Structure 1
Amino acid sequence: MIQNGFSYAAFLIFFASIVIFAEGKSKGKFFKYVPALVIIYFGAMLFATVGVWAKNDATTAAYKALKDSLLPAMIFLMLLRCDLRQIVKLGPKMLIALFTATLSIMAGFIVAYGMFKGSFPEGTWKSFAALCGSWIGGTGNMVAVQGALNVADSQMGYTLLMDSINASIWIMVLLWGVSFAPKFNKWTKADTKIIDEIGAELAKSQAKVSKEVSFPDLMILLGLSLFVSATSKYIGTFMPQSMFLSGSTWTVLIATTFGVICAMTPIAKIPGAAPLSNVMLYTIVSLIASRGDFAELGQAPLFVLAGFVILAVHAIVSIILAKLLKLDLFTCAIASLANIGGVASSPILAAAYSEALVPIGVVMALMGYVMGTGCALIVGKILSIM
């Protein structure tokens, strides 16, 4: 049994690296259906359940120090790709579709929680808020909300289970719907010419960004992100505290603000933010999973059912909006997946329609990173008073 804090953290990072390496080298379809993130989470949870490490003062201190420090740094790096000036180029209809998709997901969480709250364990509203962050932005937003609301690590198993099962099925539904686009667009009387023009313009601007990552690039991004993390934590201690706005909540919000601002500066053009933020993300997910226990996942089916209720509310609102605003299926589907699937999935769906539309999927998904944490905290506030 591991007793030392450093050995505990080293084991988790090593395990995550093996899974990610295997995914990169795999030529089969296993990782297509079971993403590395899911394997890492449940693998670390399994190790914790069988007692590979002790949950003593040393491992707890290592967990808290790493997670609390890396989280704001990761948020900052992820948001460096979210230039609000590019997002504005999407035009009013696409932005309306994106914001409506976000609002319908938020409403879905409120409806689902209201339906099943009597059967959920105490404090489930916090884990629902965390998942809402993931379904608006991404896993980074989920762990940001988890940190901001101090969600118990044992409850995060449910959120990842919903994120894996419900979201995966929804992605399959949206990909299946590509073949129905002509009929859907005819039903809504949509015009797709402007989408093709926007996609071509965004592709040109993204082609100018350097893809080669150098050692100085990584060092400046690492140093800057850690400095932002330390600064955000320091400023957070001076902000007004309440039951909902704790120091950790302020830290997340301040780091988000730094990221959004720096995304509109030359800092955003430094290559390497994506892989570096992913290193931090997978480390944080491993840490969170390491405090869980499979014995606490007895109510998983109820949570999965709640996930389908959320998606049903989201789908109904999206279809109604498409008919009212004469939106095409691509716009509705990308707005949905930009929230629920994020940067990893929305370009795939966009490419299923046309490769020229991939940049639109990327930009819309990046917008989710900006909105995810704040919107999820709003949902958490509403759920906490229900």
Structure 2
Amino acid sequence: MITDGFSYLALLMAIAASIVFAEKKTKAKIFAYLPAIVIIYFVVMLFSTFGLWQKSESITATYKTFKSDLLPAMIFLMLLHADIREIIKLGKKMLLTFLLASVSIAIGFIGMFTLFHSSFASDSWKAFAALSGSWMGGTGNMVAIQGALDLPDAALGYTLLIDSVDYAVWVMVLLALVPFAKRFNAWSKADTSVIDKVGKHLALKDAQRKAITFPSLFLLLGSALLVSAFSQYAGALLPTTDFLTMTTWVVIIATVAGILFAMTPVARLSGSSELASIMLYLIVALIASRANFAELTEAPLYIVAGFVIIAIHAIIMIFFAKTFRLDLFSLGVASLANIGGVASAPILASAYSKALIPIGVLMAMMGYILGTFGGLMVGKVLEIIAA
């Protein structure tokens, strides 16, 4: 049994690195259904369930220190490619479609929780708030909200379970709808000429991105850690409430810093996405190390709740499509940019045309900006419903 903090951290990093390496090198079919980050969570949780490490003073201190220090650094790095100036160039219709997707997802969470909140535990609103952050942004937003709302580590297993099972089904549905795009666009009377123009512009810009270099990685790491230190210092000085805790302030400050620095030369340094991913995987492994499978007793109910949220989201988006004459590509990519993030939105975009892949990436980046704030707002509404 491991009782030393460094050994505990080294093992978690080795587990996470091995799974990511296996995903990239083996191309095993399991990774087509379960992303590496989900497998990392459940593998680490399995080791935790069998008691591979003990919650000693050294391990607890290591857990708290690394989780609190890495979270704002990860948020900052994650947002460096989310340049608002580039996002605006997507055009009014695509921005509107993305925002409508975000709003419909928020309504889906509120509608589902209004109907079924009595079937869940009293603090389940925190788990759904974290999931709403993921489904309006990405896993990084989910982890940010988990920290901001002090969601128990075990409960994050429910959000990741829904995020993998329900999301996988939704991706398959959206990909299956691609051949029906022309028929759908004729029904909604959508104009797709702007999409091709924006796609070509973004593809040209994406091709100019520089390769990763050691100096850029080093500078980005130093900047991220400095932002983390500043966020925690400033967060401790700001007033708090039951909802707006110090950790919430730290998340907000790091998010604002990332948005602002995305418009500076720092954003042009290569490697921020890779560093952010390493930090995210380690944070998820740390969270999983405090959970165990015995605590996941309501998994089927949470999965059903996730499908209810998606169903409400889909119905509202179809209504919006007819009202605002939206095309199926914009609808699908906006939905997946919210629910799936940067890992899956480009896949759906490529199913329509390779030239449209950058649109999927940029929409997902917009989700990184809005996901944390959107998830916190949804969480506040869910907390009121649960009261």
Alignment partner, residue 77 of structure 2: 77
Letter of the structure 2 residue corresponding to residue 175 of structure 1: L
Query: Who is 2:41 aligned against?
Result: 41
Residue 49 of structure 1, CA deviation: 0.6
4+ residue runs over 3 A deviation: none
In 2, Cα distance between the equivalents of 1:27 and 1:362? 22
Q: Does 1:217 align with 2:203?
A: no
Return the offset for 1:27.
3.4
Alpha-carbon distance in structure 1 between the residues aligned to 2:362 and 2:200: 13
Residue number in structure 1 paired with 2:377: 378
2:226 is the counterpart of 1:232: no
1:322 is matched with which residue? 321
In the other structure, the counterpart of 2:170 is 170
* Partner Cα separation in structure 2 for residue 8 and residue 114 of structure 1: 41
TM-score, length-normalised on structure 2?
A: 0.98
The count of residues paired between Structure 1 and Structure 2 equals 385
Structure 1 runs not aligned, ≥5 long: none
SS of equivalent residue, structure 1 residue 343: helix
How far apart are the structure 1 equivalents of 2:9 and 2:31?
A: 25
Aligned to 1:276: 275
Letter of the 1:74 partner, please give it.
M
1:72 deviates by 0.3
Deviation string, structure 1 residues 171-227 (Cα, Å, up to 9, x no partner): 1110111011011011011111110001111112222221x1111111100000000
| Structure 1 equivalent of residue 290 of structure 2 | 291
Q: CA deviation at 1:57?
A: 2.0
Deviation at 1:113, TM superposition (A): 1.4
SS at match of 2:150: coil
The Cα offsets for residues 108-159 of structure 1, whole Å up to 9 and x where unpaired, read as 1111112221111231101110011110110000000000010000101100
Tell me which amino acid in the other structure corresponds to 1:203: A
- 1:21-46, Cα deviation, whole Å (9 max, x unpaired): 11111133221122211211000000
Supply the distance in 2 between the matched residues of 1:195 and 1:34 (Cα, whole angstroms): 31
2:257 maps to amino acid: F
Hey, what's the Cα distance between the residues in 2 that align with 1:34 and 1:129? 22
Q: Which amino acid aligns with 1:351?
A: S
Output aligned runs, 1:122-137, within 5 Å.
Answer: 122-137=122-137
Show the counterpart of 2:67. Answer: 67
Supply the AA of the counterpart residue of 1:68.
Answer: S
1:12-23 pair list within 5 angstroms: 12-23=12-23
Task: Output the CA distance in 1 between the equivalents of 2:132 and 2:27.
Answer: 32
CA distance in 1, matches of 2:279, 2:45: 18
Deviation at 1:231, TM superposition (A): 0.3
Equivalent position amino acid for 2:360 in 1:
G
1:235-254 aligned at under 5 Å gives the runs 235-254=234-253
Q: Which amino acid aligns with 1:80?
A: L
User: Match for 1:308: what amino acid?
Assistant: F
**2:8 matched residue in structure 1:** 8
Partner of 1:303 in structure 2?
Answer: 302
C-alpha separation between the residues in 2 aligned to 1:322 and 1:33?
29
| Matches of 1:82 and 1:132, distance apart in 2 | 20
Structure 1 residue identity aligned to 2:293: F
Q: Does 1:352 align with 2:351?
A: yes
Match of 1:195 in 2: 195
Partner of 2:336: 337
C-alpha deviation, 1:96, in angstroms: 0.8
Whole-Å separation in 1 of the counterparts to 2:173 and 2:368: 23
Partner Cα distance (1:24, 1:203) in 2: 24
Alpha-carbon separation, structure 2, partners of 1:38 and 1:27: 16
Identity rate, percent: 56
- Aligned partners of 2:343, 2:154: CA distance in 1, in Å? 26
Matches within 5 A, 1:114-153: 114-153=114-153
Aligned residues: CA RMSD = 0.8
